[in-house]
Structures are given as C-alpha cells and as structure tokens.
Chains A and B, each alone.
Chain A
C-alpha cells in the first residue's frame, strides 16, 4: 500500500521555537508538496518540490522553509514559530509531468499548536 508518512500527528510548541515537520513517501514520486489546512479555507500551498534539492514557493511561503535532500523526504521548517502558524499541515506527493491527472497522495497530517 503506497504511503505518505508524516512523522508527527500532533505537536505543541512555544512561540519562537524552531519546528521541523518531516514527510516521507515510498512511491518514488518526483513531486512533493506542503499545504496548510484551516477551517473555512481551501488548502493553501506553502512550498513544493519537483526534484531533489529543488524547491519552489507556493502561495504562502512566509515564515516557512523547506528541505529536500533525498527524493523520498520533504521537510517543512518553521524557523521561529508564531501563533498564526497554528494549523493542520498536510504533505502530499505525486508522480512527475504536467499532463494527466497527477493525483496527489496525502499524508495523514500534522496538527501543530503554537502557544
């Protein structure tokens, strides 16, 4: 069964802390994505990557950075957590190429609370 695994389901951090959210996929997918999901809003893209060591800003990259050192792993970093970053974070992956469906496979999510 193909999987996207997010290392932490629930995290509680303090304002100003550095936070790492890890995501690993076992489908040999080229593309990986980080979204945040907030009530009443659609998924918002933070960063994405089409290849190892490659990253592109999404719609809301401010306050976040990412790392993709290996194809299967895509990490989201909050350099200095703030309360407005309290959210559900979803990692997703898809196979490469712009044509076709390129269906996203999502991880179960990491719910981050910043106090």
Chain B
C-alpha cells in the first residue's frame, strides 16, 4: 500500500530551527508537497520538490531524496505564527496526491 509517515507533534522554541521529516512509500513519484495549516484554517502551499536536493524559500527550506523516499521541511528563525500543522503529500504515478496525517508544530516563547 501507499504510505506517508511524519511525526504527529513537535515542539520548538521561538528563534530556533526545526526540521520536520516525511518518509514515503508510494506507487511512483511525481513530486512532493508541503502545506501549512493553521488551526481552523485552510491548508496553504509552502513548497514543491520533484528533483533531489534543497529548495530554499526565505525562512523555509524543503529537501528531497527520491532514492531514500525522504523529505524534510526546515524552518529557521521560528516565530510564534509558525505554530501550525505541516502536511506532507506525494503525487503518485497516477498524479493523485497521497497525504500524511500532518505534524503539529508547537512554538514556545
């Protein structure tokens, strides 16, 4: 079967760095997405990786290793507003998205 694994919850301190991991086993691969979802709000797009390596976008970076079925989202200079759930999703060979259950990130002052 197809599976996306990410930690259920993480805690970090304001100003610090946190890495949220995502491992996947899917039927084919056509890209990996990270979305951010604040409580009670819509998920919003953060990043897209289709080739191996690091994609940097401001304080957020996303890394992909296709051979290892692994990605991480790196958040630097954490701010209280970064408290949210972070959703990892992989597009399979049928171009359908398979979603992880999300990682709830709690930022403490």
- Contact in complex: A90, B43 (CB < 8 Å): yes
**Cβ-Cβ contact count across A and B, 8 Å cutoff:** 44
Known contacts A98-B95, A101-B48, A103-B48, A41 near B101 by CB under 8 Å: yes
The residues of B that contact A103 with a CB separation of less than 8 Å are: 33, 45, 48
B96 near A90 (CB under 8 angstroms)? no
A98 to B4, CA, bound (A): 21
Q: How large is the interface on B (under 10, 10 to 19, 20 to 34, 35 or more residues)?
A: 20 to 34
Q: Which of B70-109 contact A (CB under 8 A)?
A: 87, 89, 95-102
| A108 in contact (CB, < 8 A) | yes
Question: In the assembled complex, how far is the CB of residue A88 from the closest CB belonging to chain B, in whole angstroms?
Answer: 9
Is A4 among interface residues, defined by CB-CB distance under 8 A? yes
Q: Could you give, for residues 72-115 of chain A, a 1 whenever the CB lies within 8 Å of some chain B CB and a 0 otherwise?
A: 00000000000000000010000000100101111111000000
Chain A: interface size category:
10 to 19
Hey, what's the 0/1 contact readout for B4-38 against A, CB within 8 Å counting as 1? Answer: 10001000000000000000000000110101000
Q: Are A106 and B42 in contact (CB under 8 A)?
A: yes
Q: How far is the CB of B52 from chain A (nearest CB, A)?
A: 17
Q: Are B44 and A106 neighbours in the complex by a CB distance under 8 Å?
A: yes
Q: Indicate if A45 sits at the interface (CB-CB under 8 A).
A: yes
CB <8 Å contact, A101 and B100? no
Chain B positions within 8 Å of A40 at CB level: 8, 101
Q: Can you offer 20 A-B residue contacts whose CB atoms are under 8 A?
A: A4-B42, A40-B101, A42-B87, A42-B98, A42-B101, A42-B102, A43-B89, A44-B99, A45-B96, A45-B97, A90-B42, A101-B33, A103-B48, A104-B35, A105-B45, A106-B43, A108-B40, A108-B41, A108-B42, A109-B40
The 3 closest A-B pairs by CB, nearest first: A42-B99, A106-B42, A43-B99
Residue numbers of B with Cβ under 8 A of A are: 4, 8, 30-31, 33, 35, 40-45, 48, 87, 89, 95-102
